Structure 1
Amino acid sequence: MFERFTAAARQVVVGAQAQARDLGHDRIGTEHVLLSMLAEEDGAVARLLRPLDLATARADVRRIYPSDRPDLSFTEADDEDAAALKAIGIDLDKVRAAIEESFGAGSLRLPKPAPRKRGIFGKFYASGGHIPFSPRAKKLLELSLREAIRLHQNFIAPEHIMLGLLREGEGLAARILADHDVDFRKLRADLENALKNEAA
């Protein structure tokens, strides 16, 4: 199946892994695929999804699906929490300064986990290890192939991947699109038109 992927579609898959890794997630979901397509600002998918952009979608993913690696640095401490702690004599800035003075700057941030051992000789991969696709993300990629076949096209472009995402329709990416009032029918028609123009 991957031999049919265009260079841009392969970049979507590679970018999805990078998005998952950047967010500290242990698997690649539909949301990471969406983020990867939005990262290509000049790509047809990102243009068709405007005004939704990468920063907004990443914020949505962080809100709905927080990182597996929490940050203890107090940098995003809620103002109400900080005020409540201050009322009982605890100043977060002073606590942070004292900890960093004792243990070094940035010591409250958890380090990235070490790469897992792989292979029979226990070699480590420099990339930080492979992040697997969730079953829903795998289904999305299979549906992108079905969309290409339905449109009588022998290649899979990012637009086909987006069509697969819309067809799957139940993942976190679909939820983000729905939350931003994306009209799935209109987007589907626009994607198909873009593909017809690309194939011509």
Structure 2
Amino acid sequence: MSSPTEAGNPTVFDMFTDAAKRVVVHAQEEGTRLHHRRMGPEHLLLGLLREEEDLAARALGGLGVGYEAAEAEVLRAIPARKRPVDDGLPFSRETRAALRYSFHASARHGHGHLGTEHLLLGVLYRDRATVPGLLRNLGIAPERVRGEVEDLIAAMTREAAEPGPPVTNPATEAPSPTPPRSPRERTRPRGPPEAGDRLRAALPRRPADPGVRHAAHGRSGPDEHAGWRGDDGGLGPDLPPGAPAAVREGPSGAVASGTRI
């Protein structure tokens, strides 16, 4: 099977590193496994933690956030349903907003790729959003996570400018420090090398419905995760000029062949 780009069907995920693509695949798997009806930012958080060697998981692990603790908090907020769901969960509104902010984070740092570090900054984009709420429930201030990610990006940038053989980040081949790993983290299966193929298969086939605020903040609605709506409607600002057009068109666009957010 060819990748989305090779098949002549470019997607908004072309900027994603292989690790970031695997995170989206992992997130789809997590939502499907828990029988949730939307792929929410909480599933992206679990997907980020499954890419244990990449920058986002190392930033979270350095603050003591591991997969098991995060999974338990997700299940406390949104219990697993009994009825199975189809593969290819639609993105919630908040997930689409988080992805838009991820592109902003990449552009702000002048990066030509979108890695797990940008995805983590994306799901932390608003203090009242889902993942910041989950982290607070785990005793971790969201601003500490943001600071840890920014520090790692800065250290990676400094090392890239220094002479000598670098220690590389597996996702971007940019130099990356290795902070201490949390003893609470357990080994999770890594994504396969065919990240693009699996991502294309996992992409949602229909748009997410507008919805209500998230159960993690004590609010419920017709779906367990129809999406959080902040002051900006949960959609985020316009994307920078370099972002894919399909992202700039916004969540109102239909999900056609899995190419729109």
**TM tier relative to shorter chain:** 0.5 to 0.7
- CA-to-partner distance for each residue in 1:92-122, whole Å, 9 max, x for gaps? xxxxxxxxxxxxxxxxxx6x45xxxxxxxxx
How many residue pairs were aligned? 145
- CA-to-partner distance for each residue in 1:56-114, whole Å, 9 max, x for gaps? 11111111101232xxxxxxxxxxxxxxxxxxxxxxxxxxxxxxxxxxxxxxxx6x45x
Does 2:206 match 1:195?
no
Contact 1:27/1:134, CA 8 A, preserved across alignment? yes
Aligned to 1:68, the other structure's residue is in SS state: coil
Q: Which amino acid aligns with 2:23?
A: V
**Alpha-carbon distance in 1 for matches of 2:142, 2:136:** 8
Does 2:43 match 1:43?
no
Q: Give how far 1:195 is off.
A: 2.6
Q: Which of residues 14, 21, 25 in structure 1 aligns to 2:32?
A: 21
**Alpha-carbon distance in 1 for matches of 2:108, 2:66:** 29
Contact 2:132/2:142, CA 8 A, preserved across alignment? no
**Alpha-carbon distance in 2 for matches of 1:189, 1:55:** 23
Aligned to 1:24, the other structure's residue is in SS state: coil
**Alpha-carbon distance in 2 for matches of 1:22, 1:129:** 10
Contact 2:73/2:137, CA 8 A, preserved across alignment? no
Does 2:142 match 1:166?
no
Which structure's CA Rg is the greater one?
1
Q: Which of residues 28, 45, 50 in structure 2 aligns to 1:34?
A: 45
Contact 1:49/1:182, CA 8 A, preserved across alignment? no
Could you list the runs of 5+ residues in structure 1 that have no partner in the other structure? 70-109, 114-127
**Alpha-carbon distance in 2 for matches of 1:10, 1:198:** 21
Contact 2:124/2:132, CA 8 A, preserved across alignment? yes
How does the TM-score come out when normalised to structure 1? 0.66
Q: Which has the higher helix share?
A: 1
Q: Which amino acid aligns with 2:76?
A: R
Q: Percent identity?
A: 30
CA RMSD of aligned residues (A): 1.8
Q: Give how far 1:42 is off.
A: 2.1
Aligned to 1:21, the other structure's residue is in SS state: helix
Q: Give how far 1:194 is off.
A: 2.2
**Alpha-carbon distance in 2 for matches of 1:154, 1:29:** 25
**Alpha-carbon distance in 2 for matches of 1:136, 1:155:** 22
Contact 2:105/2:121, CA 8 A, preserved across alignment? yes
Give the structure 1 partner of residue 19 of structure 2. 8
**Alpha-carbon distance in 2 for matches of 1:198, 1:16:** 26
Change (3 A) 1:184 1:62: closer
Q: Give how far 1:198 is off.
A: 4.1
Aligned to 1:168, the other structure's residue is in SS state: coil
Give the structure 2 partner of residue 136 of structure 1. 94
Runs of 4+ in 1 over 6 A off after TM superposition: none
Give the structure 2 partner of residue 98 of structure 1. none
Q: Which of residues 156, 178, 182 in structure 1 aligns to 2:140?
A: 182
How does the TM-score come out when normalised to structure 2? 0.52
Could you list the runs of 5+ residues in structure 2 that have no partner in the other structure? 1-11, 161-261
**Alpha-carbon distance in 1 for matches of 2:129, 2:145:** 17
